[in-house]
Structure formats: C-alpha cells, structure tokens
Chains A and B, each alone.
Chain A
C-alpha cells in the first residue's frame, strides 16, 4: 500500500472515531454501546431520539459541510495559486449567505431543497466574480494583497447587506438569518442533511476527478495550457463546482470560516500538494475537523452553546496569520 493510501485509511478511521464521539458526547453522555445499538434501532426510545433524532443529523451535517469547505479551500488555493485563499476569506461564503437570506426574507423556503441552495450558489458566484473583477481592475491579476483585500471588502459589504435585509424581517426570520452569519449546526435536520448530501457529494466527486489538471493549474496557467489543459474550461468548471459546494454548505449551516484554510494546509505538510491525495484527504479531514469543532461548540459552555464558526475562527486565525507572515517572507 502506498503512503498516501495508508494515510487516507488513517484519516477515515479518525473520521469514524470523531463521528462516534460526536454521538456519545453531549448534554447527556451516552455510552458507545448504547449509541451503536441506537443506530441499529434496538435501544430504548429516549436514547434513540437523542442519538438518531438529534445528534446524528447534526454530526452528519457537520461532516458534509466540513468536507465541502475543506475541498473548496484546497481548490481555491490551487486555482489562485495562493495558500491564503479560502471561501470565507475571499468573501464567497458571505455572498452565499446573502443569497440564502434573500431567499428566506422573500419567503421562498417552502421548497428549501431547491431554492435555498440555488440562491446561495448564485450568491457565491456573484461574490467570486466581484472579487476576481476587483482584483483584475486593480491591474495585478492574482496579487495576494489585492485578492485578500477584495475578499475582505466584499465580505464586509455582503454582511451589511444581510443585516439590512433582516431588518425588514420578523423576529423568527431574524433569528434564522443570524445563524447564517454566525455559522451553526443547531438547526440540522434530516432534511438539511439530505439536501446538502444531494448537492455537495456529486460536486466533490467532480472536483476530485479534476485532480490531475488541478495539479497542473497549481503550477501556473501558462504551463498548464502548454501541458495540454484547456485552462478556460477547467477554471469555469472549478469556479462553478466550488461555488456550488460553498453555496450549499452555507445554505445548510451558515458561513463557517477557516476550515478551508487550516485543513488543506495541515494536509500539505503531511502528504504534499498532489491533489489526487489532497482532495480525498481534505474531504475526510474537513469532515472530522468540523464534527470535532461542533462537539466542542455544543459542550464547552453547556447547557448554552457557541456558534461553531467561533471555534473554527479561534483555530483558524492563528494559522492564517502564520501563513501570511511566511508568505511575506517569500516562503
């Protein structure tokens, strides 16, 4: 077995362990044996309600969103040849949140399996187009500083738009909308788990199949072109794929930051930059990371709970700053 395959099996085991502990740990601690029998359908009704009805959707949603955001981060980094690129930092998550909130405020959530993800997807596409457009207008293409500034400014703008939109809403809508800004798995349901799975898993599979041309693109667009990659078409597919993933994840749980930064970076240190390894590894590790972060978020100040975005930001900001400093030093 190659080293990468060995590592992937290890990461899969870690994901399973994190998911199980996410089901075990909570306001009421449930022994592993009872968790397993509840999953098998044989535990008592109360245990089944807690494990299968409450915790399982939450853990599964966190896993899906973690996988999606980590892979989206890795793809953005290769696409922009910038280790600091990430859906949240680039303002793409905020754009998706505007899309989702607009749909909610307009009362279009009745068929939320379709409208909410599509609205968030459109928001994400608009945001990335604006950020790249701003960077291009500044005349320095993919310059790190311009991109990050554009992302921060666009993100701030979209957050203001969200606040503006929810001001017109009733109290319950306001609460729901605030979730999108903070990022939380509190509202996870079986339906949201299914919705995210239906959109995100095929998109992740598609991005994974593009791993080889993505490797070439990460070396430079000109080189990729001359090595036989249809660069324009590839970039279009990647932008659509990542926007879809980010949009649907944000629709499911709100704008959770830094997962797409921390996870790919750690995995590059462990196993290198080959996307044939990096993308599946990001999916597994991102899933485990967010399940773990959410377990912390709902237990550390129990019975109250932290937005999971707070936990990921506390972990992510130091990594971001460290990367920024290293980047400035010319790496």
Chain B
C-alpha cells in the first residue's frame, strides 16, 4: 500500500499527488514511469513520473481524469492509500551530449515534460520550452517551467493566455528563424507529438516522443504496448517510452490505443455512481 501524502488539483481535470514510495523515489529519473492499481479490482495503469523527492521518499504523479481508472485515482484523498505503485519503469530521457534542446509539452503532457526539461538543464544543456494548453484555465506548472527554461514560450489554442496558437506554430517559427537545436523532445497527446515530428523533419532535428500505449505489466511481459519504430516492433515499456519520433508509426499507435474505447465509455458510465468506493474494493 502506498500513501498519498499530498493532493493538489492543478486545474479542474488535472490532479497532482505525492505518493510515498521510497524505493522508487531513490531510483527514479526523468522520462521513466510508474504503474498504479487503485485497488484489488483496479487495472494497471502507467503514468510517467512528474517528479520525486529522494529525501522524503515520495514520487509525484500528475494525471488527467480522462477514463475510469484515472477518475478512480482522483477520487482518493490525502492520507488514502493506493493499492499498488510500481516503478521506475522504462528508460530515462537521454540527456547526455545534448547541448541545446527544445522541450515541447502539450496539456497534461507538460507535467512529464517538466522533469525532462529539468534533467536537460542539470546536464548542462540550454533549454527552450514550448508549452501549449487549450485555454488560460488549464495552464499548469508555469512557474516551474520558468525556473528551468532559458526561454519559455506559453501557447494557448484560443489566445486567452500567452501567445495564440498551437505549439507547432511556435516551434516552426523558432526553427525558421534559425534556432539550432540538437534535440527536440515532445510530450503530449499523440496527434500533437505527430505534428511536432512533422514540423521538425524538414529541419533534420532529432525528435524524441514519449509514447503512452496500452500496457499491462510494464516489464516486457505482455507485449501489449508494442509500437512500430523504424519498421521494427518495440515494446514501449522496456525499449521506451521515448522513441525517435521520425520513425514512429503514429497511425498504428492511435488505432491500437482505441482498442478498448467503447468498453471504457461503458464502464465509466456504469461505475460513475460508485466512484466513492474507489480504493476500497476487494475481489469478491
């Protein structure tokens, strides 16, 4: 059991939690993920690590309540326990040798772009950050990004805050005006990552993307998270989650991510009435 020591609503649909997990906190690196299971009946859900405190022994997760299990997790409070919390899984963000990077985060993906941006900074790189949100109300982690970015570009789809436009508009502008990045890291919704890759491709900038396919165990056992990268089958859980975005088959990834969508909608509807039991259910 893993105690939630802090809970903070970052915006109406995005929640931050600090979870007591000393072994993971000691080892975690930017870009890696954990898998949680809310209670005995819960499914295993991967979330990329948003931060950690090695001394306090806590791991920070930031998640959007989009489906059944993230809503179930969001229903827990400070002092409650998460049944299972395992990690750190996957490979960390590769920061070595990168001198000038542009980190691009979209929506809740910014939560996991932040530790990678910080890791690049610590490794001595010059770090530009572009973050994008639908509107002003859902902007998260602005101060934190400001603290680690050499240049922060904040974009909103409707222009209600920062600059008006998608992250790709800003990225295109920076590349066109001759900014020399040796790495772009994009983390966010799959369509956003796909378009970031399309933007950087003509400029020949190596672009890594953090993928979030459906997975079960997270240790290479189930193969459910397989993605096609450069024509080869890779397991996101052990070979990733970050891959060379110019090699990723995004259409296949999007298709595979939708495999349980109908059922998810049904389950979310059916379970909505008993969300308050979350974290306490047992196998009957």
Report whether chain A binds chain B.
no
